[in-house]
A and B are shown apart, each in its own frame.
Chain A
């Protein structure tokens, strides 16, 4: 669908690309129409007395007809003045009815409808869901309930604890190894062996300007992990069952944590509130303006 949309957007190339891929209904329709037009052109030519025509000329005439038709169908006709002018120049409008009723006209059979979209009677399985109150009733109904049924298809997950741990461990190791090797390759390295620099490449030691910051502050990863453990700890309490020993300690730990947090929080927040009003610490006092001693 997206494809046709783009080709339509691209304008004249629509037909060409359309003929290439004749699978979808819109293209089928176009082809059928074109065929009909061809029949029309041929019959008009026969009427006019031609016995045979070159394929190319028939094609050209068809094209001309189609362009009129096409514009008409897509609603360009009224706006396109040049088309109208061409029409007016070509035909005498008054003669049209007579022309239509001429005796020797050929009757063109309706084009064979390839696949009439027979909407089969939907098999109603169950009751469609009624609209919830916020959806106006004129909106289309919900699809049949069976359309919601999904049949998941995935491989049986590896739930074996050992394999999982093994996987996680080797994955982490591989990632770390690859990462450090990459870093070592892209930067300066040191080596433990003089004759070999690639087997055990050590990323060169680089001094920091402020060494204590990296040494003391927890890394971003650790901070992230901290947050994760805080939230995951609660999950663990509900759904881990394969590590009973774990849980018991976790529980008590988490509880302790919670209580201590609870204990701390009021006092802390209390003192925070107090800080603004009560605390008189000389380091928090505003700095005084110098006294002006201009007299001397």
Chain B
């Protein structure tokens, strides 16, 4: 165990700093506060005097007063710095976060499995609108008429994690088709909102129809906000979108993307919000179902081609990711928590918790989930699949109307086992093998196929090999479909893939002699004429496809002759097959391939995406054939024929984007053409002139649609045409030696970029392309490499797309020029940028395009950087899980799992353990594997192995030792927290609350640094202290806890930040909340928790109100409870009134935004959670109430 304080003193030369160690510690820290496991960060101890009240089933109220001052996470404020009132400035705030992050903005049991009903009240400035979950019951002015209170009631039991809030001067649009649906956007954007949401009702209709179930909530709200955390976030009865999804009717490209976002969020309303999950390991079911029904919507809306194309794309993505990282596990089961059982040992993070996952992993996880759901559909049929969904939904909606039988509410939670049971009940089929293969196990299948045709036997000898030894792969055993297109038609064969059989004989139907006049029947029944001259005279085989339906998560590398691929491209009607053949044809640069691709390009009936990828393939083939290529550059005459004027072929027609297919082709062809190279590996002059002419003659005046994406792609085309400059003696790039072609390109870029300032394009697509092009010119040595321009575009205040493009250029510069200064600039931005998405994105881009990697020598790789990143991971990102995981990813990319090589060896190999009087190997040099396990070796019950690493020269030796011991006694688990912490100033240490008969508050920080903050005078004292609490804990406690945490860890601690949680000394609290929690469960005694909005309530007040309940054996009191509940309710209202009047002149509720420090007039938040505590969750029997609240209080300074 390493105490942070010690660690910081002694490990100045590098510290532990290995990622393995961090990951274990981080996972342990997250575990320690995991609400699903009954853990939390705020523990409220109920005094023993009150226990008898609990026995009598009396209601206990607990009020938690807190204020939130300039929160860094959980709520995001957008406050533009312009003149005017907050409403005029368009200032707004919204809740955000990754997975269960509601604890960041109010104390709650932040678990998806803890359901309760809600009453929410928000008092905001009269010009603002507060949008939250459930029905808006009424809006009432405050007495001074300057503010109004929005009263929301959510009667459907909902997890705190699905609670959200958005406040701003929104424009309100009631959906013209569905009056229960309301849309909100920021001022001035109403016309865009009207257009964007005009489609939503169709999505509603679609889902309701396929699920044969009404939308579960009585209303739905969409809010479009700026600086969104993610593009789409679904919460109970409302979704929060990025405002950048809004578009006008003139925009083509954004329309399908936005519609997809809307449909996605709506699918999650059913599965994700209404139906929640039992535990993290059941997440895949929700993501799978919502992704699957979203896929069905895609199929219906954009057609089968688009759907299949999307499935293929997703499949490729997940396969690539799994092969790269070693696998994505959908349903992790953890046994015993032993290291060797870790199912994800190949990863640099733990997958036990959502909050430790890399963002990329989580994205891929969702992708895999819906693909697996599709596999299940393949197995049991769509009809049954939809029946299962319907069953889940109808059970849940029955349960949700049960107000007082909370045990029913568990029906609203989906679990893997429950889902599988439903499937077997409904379909009667056993899908266990499928689940075992794809859900309980990670990895994908890698097939290698080849074949030979045996003429004598008229048999196709197919050989299918598997690679199941590389990381991320698994062995597949089971059926595999193979489709063989012969001269006489298309035939499906199902092969059994078994352990040791590689060869499969497939009898052919057709004789090889062919009737020339006969048409060839295809799979879909169509009969076509083919020119069969290309094929092998002896074989009747046209093409072969392995697993054409994508019913295995696999990668197939199949070998067949080039003419077979060409036939497949021309005549196979499945877009996936066409796509595959295009990919394969890249390896066959022949005139025949060229012809096949050109034909596809010209074929109007062909799916546009296939035609688009044919463009790029054609460019590659042309480059490979450069010495034999005849005629004009590839695609030029095609483009001229399709898009240029008949009379003057060098001039493009005035834009008319009515036909989207040809629009996309028109956009793509020049981009692909610019990739052409001549024998000198330069872009042919002809092509460059052609593109410049396209730009010159571009005329959009008569077009109904905006051409901003088209023009942006023309700039991309210019960038693609750039080839490395011929550099003589590394001369400095100046204007004089500028290549004339580049001069022309620069001329265009300059003009475009400048015009953007005067007439900005939608989403500034042109600026984005210009910035990218400038970076390409810099990288190719035409223009001096200089990040200054990009840095100015990366500043806060530019549109987010521009910023990301500029940052990408800076990241690239950092890598290419190995610039320490720029890296520092980026790191600084990661820590300080106001927009969470941008911070996340920088880390992401740095990880994708790292300045150096593990085994690389780089001047950038130094100790200071290690320290910086280490600090960022540990303490700089406590308010944003995504950011922390992003930092971990970057650290992994840069330094790998073990100790960064740039760190010097620690000075001392051995350290002295004072307590044990023995020397221990300094952990910083313990090899990776041991380091990972070392904590397991520490025995919590004995002090013998307490390893406080001390520098013998340390002056404060004795004191530190005692610190270590005390820390140790608080539980081994705590040590997990320690490396996460950063040292605190001594002044922050608060005194310990000695009066332990009173309620104890315990706050655990996920990055907690509590260890060294507890001011323990002596070991003896602390032991007494702890033993006292151990006694207290003899009362039944949350059972879930004990297995995660040794009892001693539950000693009540008042951390330094307790001022934040009891709200004591803040003279002007910025935010306060009333939270009432009532229990009316059948088997539980009621428990009511309400928070007074008295911000100045001292701890003692708080204590009086809080009580504990012991409720092991109360069973049949719920009738009684009814009455009581009502009464209590009334009482509560009175209570509130009192406080209202009390607070009137104190004006305690305001919350300030970090952006300006000035107050945004969003005020009181009164929350009431009504929860009949269900017996199904162990930790409901609280003597303690755990409020998971990792970081909220940290920010309360």
- A-to-B contact residues, CB < 8 Å: 161-162, 165-166, 168-170, 173, 176-177, 179-180, 183-184, 190, 192-196, 199-219, 221-222, 225-226, 228-229, 232-233, 236, 242-243, 245-246, 249-250, 252-253, 257, 267-268, 271-272, 275, 278-285, 287-291, 293, 296
Contacts and interface: CB of A to CB of B under 8 A. Distances in A.
Given A165-B697, A176-B751, A271 B176 contact: yes
B798 A222 contact: no
Interface string B698-719: 0111111010000000000000
Contacts of B189: 213, 216-217
A169 B706 contact: no
Given A207-B796, A218-B706, 4 more contacts: A165-B651, A192-B789, A229-B704, A281-B180
Nearest to B763: A215
A287 B141 contact: yes
A282 B137 CA distance: 7
Contacts of A285: 138-139
A215 B760 contact: yes
B389 to A, nearest CB: 30
B757 interface: yes
Nearest to A198: B735
Contacts of B248: 217-218
Interface residues of B, number: 92
Interface in B717-752: 733-735, 746-747, 750-751
Interface in B1133-1149: 1137-1138, 1140-1141
B783 interface: yes
A282 B658 contact: no
A183 B774 contact: no
Contacts of B798: 205, 207-208, 211
Nearest to A282: B136
Contacts of B784: 192-194
A74 B428 CA distance: 119
A204 B186 CA distance: 28
Contacts of A184: 754
Interface stretch (B239-247, B566-574, B1039-1047, B1171-1179): B239-247
Nearest to B246: A216
A190 B784 CA distance: 13
A216 B702 contact: no
A204 B763 contact: no
A268 B798 CA distance: 36
A215 B179 contact: no
A173 B696 contact: yes
Contacts of A281: 174, 179-180, 182
Interface centre among A166, A267, A272 (most CB of B within 10 A): A166
Contacts of A213: 188-189
B758 A183 contact: yes
Interface string B768-797: 000000100100000110101100110111
Contact of B1137 (A202, A204, A282, A296): A296
Contact of A249 (B82, B180, B645, B659): B659
Q: Which 10 A-B pairs have the closest CB atoms?
A: A207-B797, A180-B754, A282-B136, A162-B648, A253-B658, A215-B799, A271-B176, A211-B799, A288-B140, A200-B750
Contact of B762 (A196, A215, A278): A215
Contacts of A214: 760, 799
A280 B696 contact: no
B53 to A, nearest CB: 28
Contacts of A287: 126, 139-141, 148
Given A229-B701, A249-B656, A180 B174 contact: no
Interface string B134-153: 01111111110100100000
Contact of A162 (B651, B793, B1138): B651
A214 B797 CA distance: 12
A180 B751 contact: yes
Given A165-B648, A190-B792, A195-B734, A180 B758 contact: yes
9 contacts: A162-B651, A193-B783, A193-B784, A203-B754, A215-B762, A216-B243, A229-B703, A257-B704, A281-B174
A200 B139 contact: no
Interface string B544-558: 000000000000000
Contact of B759 (A165, A202, A219): A219
B318 interface: no
B90 A204 contact: no
A192 B797 contact: no
B920 interface: no
B80 A209 contact: yes
B226 A212 contact: yes
A250 B702 CA distance: 10
Interface of B: 80-82, 90, 126, 129, 135-143, 145, 148, 172, 174, 176-177, 179-180, 182, 186, 188-189, 192, 219, 226, 243-244, 246-248, 250, 645-648, 651, 653-654, 656, 658-659, 696-697, 699-704, 706, 733-735, 746-747, 750-751, 753-755, 757-760, 762-764, 774, 777, 783-784, 786, 788-789, 792-793, 795-801, 1137-1138, 1140-1141
Nearest to B756: A203
B273 to A, nearest CB: 20
Contacts of B658: 249-250, 252-253
A242 B651 CA distance: 15
A272 B177 CA distance: 10
A253 B705 CA distance: 12
A194 B735 CA distance: 9
Contacts of A289: 140-141
A183 B746 CA distance: 18
A176 B755 contact: yes
B797 A209 contact: yes
A200 B746 contact: yes
A142 to B, nearest CB: 43
A283 B750 contact: no
A290 B138 contact: no
A199 B734 CA distance: 11
A85 B906 CA distance: 128
B656 A246 contact: yes
A253 to B, nearest CB: 4
A221 B174 contact: no
Contacts of A201: 750, 754
A259 B702 CA distance: 20
- B135, B145, B645, B1137 — most chain A CB neighbours (10 Å): B645
A199 B651 CA distance: 28
A199 B1141 contact: no
A187 to B, nearest CB: 9
Contacts of A210: 80, 82, 90, 226
A112 to B, nearest CB: 67
Nearest to B774: A192
A250 B788 CA distance: 46
B174 A279 contact: yes
A192 B701 contact: no
A165 B139 CA distance: 60
B250 A226 contact: yes
B789 A202 contact: yes
Contacts of B244: 212, 215-216
Given A200-B747, A205-B798, A221 B759 contact: yes
Contacts of B783: 192-193
Most B CB contacts (10 A, CB to CB) among A252, A283, A290 go to A283
Point out which of A194, A201, A236 has the most chain B C-beta atoms below 10 A from its C-beta. A194
A268 B1140 CA distance: 45
A91 to B, nearest CB: 81
A209 B750 contact: no
Contact of B701 (A211, A225, A280): A225
Contacts of B696: 169-170, 173
A230 B179 CA distance: 31
B754 A183 contact: yes
A245 B653 CA distance: 10
B960 to A, nearest CB: 49
A169 B656 contact: no
A221 to B, nearest CB: 6
